[in-house]
Amino acid sequence: MTDVASARFEALFDPAFLARVNAMTLRIAAAQKGGRLAEQRTTARGQGSDFADFKPYVAGDDLRAIDWNIYRRLGKTFVRVFEERQDLPVYLMLDASRSMFAEAAPRIDPAMRTALALAATVARQHDALSLLSFGDDLATRLRNMSGKGAIVQVARALSEQAPAGGTALAAALTHLAAMRLRRGLVVIVSDFFDDDGLEGVLQALGRLPHRLLLVQMTRASDADPTLLHDLYGDVSIEDGEREAGLSVTITDELIARYRAAYRGFTDALDGFVQQRGATLIRVDADRDVIDQLSPVLANGSIVL
Amino acid sequence: MSFATFGLAGTIAGALALVALLYLLQRLRARRRVVHLPAAALWAQAMREAPARALGGRFRHWLAFALIVAIALALWLAAAHPQAAPAETGASRRFYLDNSALLAPAGELARAKRALLADVRATPAQRRAVFLGDAAGTRLLAPGESDSLLARRLDLVTAEARPSGFGAWLRRTGESGPGDTIRYYGGWPVLRDATPAAPRGTAVQPGYLARAVPDNRGIVALGATPARSGMAGRADILVAVAAARGESPSPSALRWTLDGKPFAPTSVENAGGGQYLVRNVAATGQVLQVTLAGNDGFPQDDAAALRLPDRTPLRVALLGGTPDVVRAAIAADGGLTIVPAASAQVAIGDAGATGSLALPALVFTDPARQGRAFAFAEPDNAAKGALADRLDELGLAQVDASAIADALGKPIGVDITQGARRRVGVWRALFAPDSPFALDAAMPIFLAQSLRWLGNADGWRPYAKAGAPIPDQSRLYGLPDRAGADLLGVATRIDAAPVALTDRAVTLAAADTSARPAVAPEGGALPADLPFVLLVLAAGLLLAAEWWLLQRGLIA
């Protein structure tokens, strides 16, 4: 582990930070059957503590599940069936493109804290966590981790993350869809600034057979560039992903056009989330991430 | 105000061109700051939707443009070298840089040049001329020429260890207009002594006066003469020394060398008045140098050198075809030594015997090969004329040409041509035992003079003094090496012989501490270059201001 990665790991794997994550949960309306026993509600009937229904006894049923009161009243044997809780496969995708590393205070740091908070939540619920990162390509960093022991591995994998090229989110999503994974929850932590445009990203998201939780890393200056004190006159805008900077002469007219473009960008993202029934959390990179995640994820206040 | 480099029109045109160029550059090329933003794609989208930047668009950064224009104009005007306009009086100024020995001490010439440049710049270009104190009075700057030319020309000027020619130049200078001035840059004694010779109506002013060396002493004469003892091949040497203060240096203060090797005279005879004699020095063509020990601040007169004459017998080789008459005449000449061809200076014989040797030769030939009875070949084409003028020195004037012509039945003539080396061709018939020429008393003279001319034997040069004519002794010793009586310009070498300053007046003038006039700069108290200096200063300050603003992000 390099010095930078080591320092980043120390900053990430902070007990105080992880303690604040304990209050967060990720609940899904109904997980797909076929997983391990865990805490997510499913349509599967079997062992569990939540009563679901009666069914006539057939040979092979557990004799301990026969409801003897019904037998006494009706003279027929019925057994009680319970809702079986299983784990949820969670695919946590972190944007590791160079634009996330570009600024003086890069967004990758709060993005990693966000990813770790979500991963810790998933691990604590004994759900199956897979960690993926994407830049030019999609890379699987961890697969089917669960339990508290997974948190250290996630923190280490995150801290070792290096810039991975440009933002090719649409291609990464297409790749993910082609992997035919067990249906679960896809969590994407990204700025969603794809050079090929948001339209391709949204189309690829629409093709995913998973539930979606989108975490957009933002800054106030994204919507209002006048907050940037050095953005005036003739500048070269570099996002780390282009060979040459974008030569721009900042004018009021151009700022107005940028604002319109950014509004269109956020409107498109919001529209997709609403249409798809996904969830979008906007995290301001300049504020504490737990403070921003807690209102949404605390005590199961969101059911995906 | 004037502009030394480009002139007024050129300066204004250049300034306008610079402003236009900077304006275009300001519009076309902006220096961009780098801003790191992940939303570059959205900015690119906004740019695509915005109209392209056009040359005719709104102009921005007026203050930055004004600052850059100010810097560029300051530099441009400085390059044009503006000068404060000198007062226009209508009178002309002539400047005379006397680069003679009095400006030779370290730093004197450089200071004189600086003073000269400053004064010239403070003088209207049309009313100034600058002259150099060499033998020809070379004009360094003509009226109307830029003083930047003078600076470059002065770079080539060096001080020369010779007496000043200012007095002679002043006497050659014609009448001038009222109020005309000659400014002099050199030694104060020269100016003092020469001023009375100035043309009527012309004021002579000091522009720079070299500092005096009060304790100067030097060698003021060095010469050689045939030894009084009568010993052949020996010379007596006279050296004279002088000191501005106190006693003349004693003989023990003199250091002697011959061809660079230390030489200790057996005795130095004090002839009085600071003159010393060294007798019976072998005259074999060595360079004799005398140096005065000690450093007095004026080293130009502390050493003198002289090439002694070569009085050793001329080595000749008698080869095949040499008539007996000639053999006898040569054997009888004590100034000639007969040696083998390998060590000879001159070969004597027929064409077959001398042709294979790379030596000057006296060749005996016949009318079929040589049209004239006497034929001289000289490699230096320019020297042919001088040779033609001095043929009498060869003894031919005493020859009874008609008697010889009658005896030979052919006319007698002389031909001078150009050849690879010196050569004298003579008909063999002239040296037949019964030939009138062989019986003539002029024959041995002809042989002796011809052979010495062929051997390039130098005449006796008693001294070689800078600024004085070459002592011409050819009437005494035969044909001259050089025609005329050139001025020995500097204390360098002429015909591979050194030239010494050896001038008592210069040695004493260098030590002259008499009251001298104050030197006032031309054009008043303010230097003519003040506008130039101020512009350079302003440009530097503006550049610093731009750098300061740039570092703080206050300008693009």
The DSSP secondary structure of B270-305, one letter per residue, reads: EEETTEEEEEEEE-BSPEEEEEE-S--S-GGGSEEE
Q: Which residue bears the tokens 């730093």?
A: B107
The reported pLDDT for the residue numbered B482 is 45
Put simply, the answer to whether B47 touches A103 (Cβ < 8 Å) is: no
Structure tokens at A274: 């609403």
% of chain A residues with pLDDT over 90: 14
Residue B358 structure tokens: 């790379």
Task: Copy the structure tokens of residue B361.
Answer: 């030769």
Nearest of B520, B471, B523, B534 to residue B497 by alpha carbon: B471
Looking at beta carbons, which residues of chain B come within 8 Å of A234? 30-33, 556
Candidates 1.10.4160.10, 3.40.50.300, 3.40.50.410, 1.10.10.410; CATH matching B93-211: 3.40.50.410
Segment B499-509, tens digit of pLDDT: 778 888 888 88
> Quick check: B47 and A231 CB within 8 A?
no
Cross-chain Cβ contact A254/B50 below 8 Å: yes
CA distance B213 to B301: 12
Percent of chain B exceeding pLDDT 70 equals 85
Alpha-carbon gap, residue B79 to B11, rounded angstroms: 9
Q: Would the CB atoms of B38 and A191 count as touching at under 8 Å?
A: yes
Q: Which DSSP category does B197 fall into?
A: G
Instruction: Take residue B356 and report the two structure tokens written for it.
Output: 């294979």
* Per-residue burial over B369-407, b = 16 or more CB atoms within 10 Å of its CB, e = otherwise: ebebbbbbbbeeeebbebbeebbebbbbeebebeebeeb
Burial status of residue B357 (CB atoms within 10 A of its CB: 0-12, 13-18, 19 or more) = middle
- pLDDT given for residue B483 in this prediction: 36
Query: Residue B30: pLDDT above 50?
Result: yes
Contact (CB<8Å) A195/B41: yes
Binning pLDDT at 50, 70 and 90, where does residue B364 land? very high
Average pLDDT over residues A103-112: 89
In B437-461, which positions are buried (b, 16+ CB within 10 angstroms) versus exposed (e)?
bbebebbbbbbbbbbbbbbebbbbb
Angle value at C-alpha B364, between B363 and B365, nearest 5 degrees: 110
pLDDT tops 80 at residue A287: yes
CB-CB neighbors (< 8 A) of A266 in chain B: none
Strands A279-284 and B128-132: unpaired
Report CA torsion sign: B409, B410, B413, B415: negative
Note the helical H segments in A104-215.
108-124, 149-159, 169-178, 198-206
Work out the average pLDDT over B264-290.
88
What is the CB neighbour count within 10 angstroms for residue A15? 7
The contacts of residue B10 (CB under 8 Å, 6+ apart) are B3, B80
What was the pLDDT predicted at A37? Answer: 54
- Dump pLDDT digits (tens) for B66-80: 888 888 888 888 888
Lowest mean pLDDT among A4-13, A73-82, B270-279, B309-318: A4-13
User: Residue B130 — very low, low, confident or very high, per pLDDT cuts 50/70/90?
Assistant: very high
Tell me how many degrees the CA angle B81-B87-B91 measures, rounded to the nearest 5: 115
H or E stretch at A138? strand A138-145
Burial annotation A262-279 (CB, 10 A radius, 16+ → b, else e): beebbebbeebbeebebb
The Cα angle at residue A188 between residues A184 and A191, in degrees rounded to 5: 165
Provide the sign of the torsion angle of the four alpha carbons B401, B407, B408, B410, taken in this order.
positive
Where do the domains of chain A lie? 3-32+88-297, 45-83
Going by the DSSP 8-state scheme, the letter that residue A223 receives in this structure is H
Three-class DSSP category at A40: strand
Rounded distance between C-alpha atoms, residue B149 and residue A157, angstroms: 76
Angle among Cα A74, A77, A82 to the nearest 5 degrees reads 115
| pLDDT value at residue B485 | 37
Q: What are the backbone dihedrals phi and psi of residue B465, each rounded to the nearest 5 degrees, phi first?
A: -110, 130
DSSP-derived pairing of the beta strands B493-494 and A246-249: unpaired
Q: pLDDT (tens digit, 9 = 90+) per residue, B395-427?
A: 777 777 888 888 888 888 888 888 888 999 999
Q: Would you say residue B164 has pLDDT above 70?
A: yes
The predicted structure's pLDDT at residue B22: 77
Average pLDDT score, chain B:
82
pLDDT at B15 over 90: no
Question: CA of A10: how far to CAs of A1, A4, A86, A152, B101, in Å?
Answer: 12, 10, 33, 11, 85
Task: Give residue B60's pLDDT.
Answer: 61
* pLDDT at residue B487, rounded to an integer: 43
User: Residue B320 pLDDT more than 70?
Assistant: yes
Q: What are the residues whose beta carbons fall under 8 Å from the beta carbon of B453, sequence distance 6 or more?
A: B394, B422, B424, B478, B479
Residue type, A46: G
Closest Cα partner for B38 from A266, A227, A4, A242?
Answer: A242
For residue B250, give the DSSP letter. P
Tell me which range, A30-44, B164-178, B438-452, B458-472, is most confidently predicted by mean pLDDT: B438-452
| Nearest CB to B35 within list A197, A231, A242 | A231
Minimum Cα–Cα distance from B44: chain A residue: A246
Distance from CA of B43 to the nearest CA of A (A): 6
Return d(Cα B87, Cα B79) in angstroms, integer.
23
Exposed / middle / buried, residue B266 (Cβ in 10 Å: 0-12, 13-18, 19+): exposed
Taking domain A3-32+88-297, whether its CATH number is 3.40.50.410 is answered by yes
Whole-number pLDDT of residue B247: 80
Averaged pLDDT, B332-361 = 90
**A104-137 as b/e: b if 16+ CB within 10 A:** eebbbbbbbbbbbbbbbbbbbbbbbbbbbbbbbe
The 3-state DSSP class for residue B436 equals: helix
Cα R_g (chain A), whole angstroms:
23
Please say if the pLDDT value at position A41 is more than 90. no
User: Are B143 and B128 in contact, with CB atoms under 8 Å apart?
Assistant: yes
Q: What is the pLDDT of residue B488?
A: 46
Question: A249 contacts in B (CB within 8 Å)?
Answer: 30, 53
> What is the structure's pLDDT at A268?
93
Please list, residue by residue across B484-513, b when 16 or more beta carbons sit within 10 angstroms of its beta carbon and e when fewer do: eeeebbbbeebeebbbbbbbbebbbbbbbe
Beta strands in A164-258 (DSSP E): 185-190, 211-218, 234-238, 246-249
Per the structure block, which two tokens stand in for B238? 């006279």
Give this complex's ipTM: 0.78
- The mean per-residue pLDDT over the stretch B285-298 comes to 86
Report the C-alpha gap between B356 and B320 in whole angstroms. Answer: 12
pLDDT, position B6: 64
The model's pLDDT over B81-106, given as tens digits with 9 standing for 90+, comes to: 776 665 666 678 899 999 998 998 88
Summarize pLDDT for B429-439 with one digit per residue, the tens. 999 988 888 88
B500 CB-near residues (< 8 Å, 6+ apart): B219, B222, B303, B304, B305, B306, B463, B464, B465, B466, B491
pLDDT of residue A5: 73
- Token digits of residue B130: 């600058």
Rounded-to-integer distance, Cα A130 and Cα A152, Å: 14
Arithmetic mean of pLDDT, B162-173: 86
Q: Is B40 close to A233, i.e. CB distance below 8 A?
A: no
pLDDT of residue A38: 56
Please count the residue pairs, one from chain A and one from chain B, whose beta carbons lie less than 8 angstroms apart: 100
Shortest CA distance from B50: residue in chain A: A254
Look at residue A206 and give its three-state secondary structure.
helix
Pick from B155-159, B452-456, B487-491: least confident: B487-491
Give the pLDDT confidence score for residue A40 in this predicted structure: 60
Supply the mean pLDDT for chain A: 82
Contacts of B36 in chain A (CB under 8 A): 102-104, 237-240
Report CB contact under 8 Å: B43, A246: yes
Res B131: pLDDT = 93
User: DSSP state, A101?
Assistant: G
A104 vs B36, B40, B43: nearest CB: B36
Q: For A251, name the nearest residue in chain B, comparing CA atoms only.
A: B50
CA distance B37 to B44: 12
Pairing of strands B361-365, B423-427: parallel
Average pLDDT over residues B521-548: 79
Instruction: For residue B60, count other CB atoms closer than 10 A to its CB.
Output: 16
Q: Name the residue ranges covered by the structural domains of chain B.
A: 93-211, 217-310+459-509, 314-454
> In this structure, how many other beta carbons lie within 10 angstroms of the beta carbon of residue B250?
12
Q: Which residues pair with B500 in a beta bridge?
A: B465
Instruction: Give, as one character, the DSSP assignment of residue B246.
Output: S
Nearest to A230 among B33, B43, B47 (CB): B33
Pick from B343, B272, B295, B352: which is nearest to B320 by CA?
Answer: B352
- The average pLDDT across B472-485 equals 50
Question: Going along B443-522, which residue ranges are E strands?
Answer: 493-494, 497-498
| B423 Cβ contact list (under 8 Å, min separation 6) | B360, B361, B363, B375, B376, B377, B454
Rounded CA-CA distance B545/B211 in Å is: 45
Q: What's the gap in Å between the CA of B67 and the closest CA on chain A?
A: 17
Q: How far apart are CA A113 and CA A120, in angstroms?
A: 10
User: What's the average model confidence in pLDDT over A194-198?
Assistant: 81
Q: Which residues of A touch B (CB under 8 A)?
A: 99-100, 102-104, 107, 191, 193-195, 197, 222, 225, 228, 230-231, 233-242, 245-249, 251, 253-254, 257-258, 260-262, 265
Q: pLDDT band for A270, please (50, 70, 90 cuts).
A: very high
For residue B489, pLDDT beyond 70: no
pLDDT at B323 over 90: yes
Among the listed residues B118, B183, B172, B104, the one whose alpha carbon sits nearest the alpha carbon of residue B150: B118
Do residue A235 and residue B39 have CB atoms under 8 angstroms apart? Answer: no
Chain B residues near residue A197 by CB distance under 8 angstroms: 41
pTM given for the model: 0.49
B311-340 burial: b if 16+ Cβ within 10 Å, else e: bbbbebbbbebbbebbeebbeebeebeeee
Q: How confident is the model at residue B324 (pLDDT cuts 50, 70, 90)?
A: very high
Task: For residue B445, report the phi and psi dihedrals to the nearest 5 degrees.
Answer: -65, -45
Looking at residue B523, its pLDDT comes to 64
| Segment A142-160 mean pLDDT | 82
Residues A99, B40: C-beta atoms closer than 8 Å: yes
For the record, the structure tokens of A79 come out as 């057994």
| pLDDT above 70 (res B1) | no
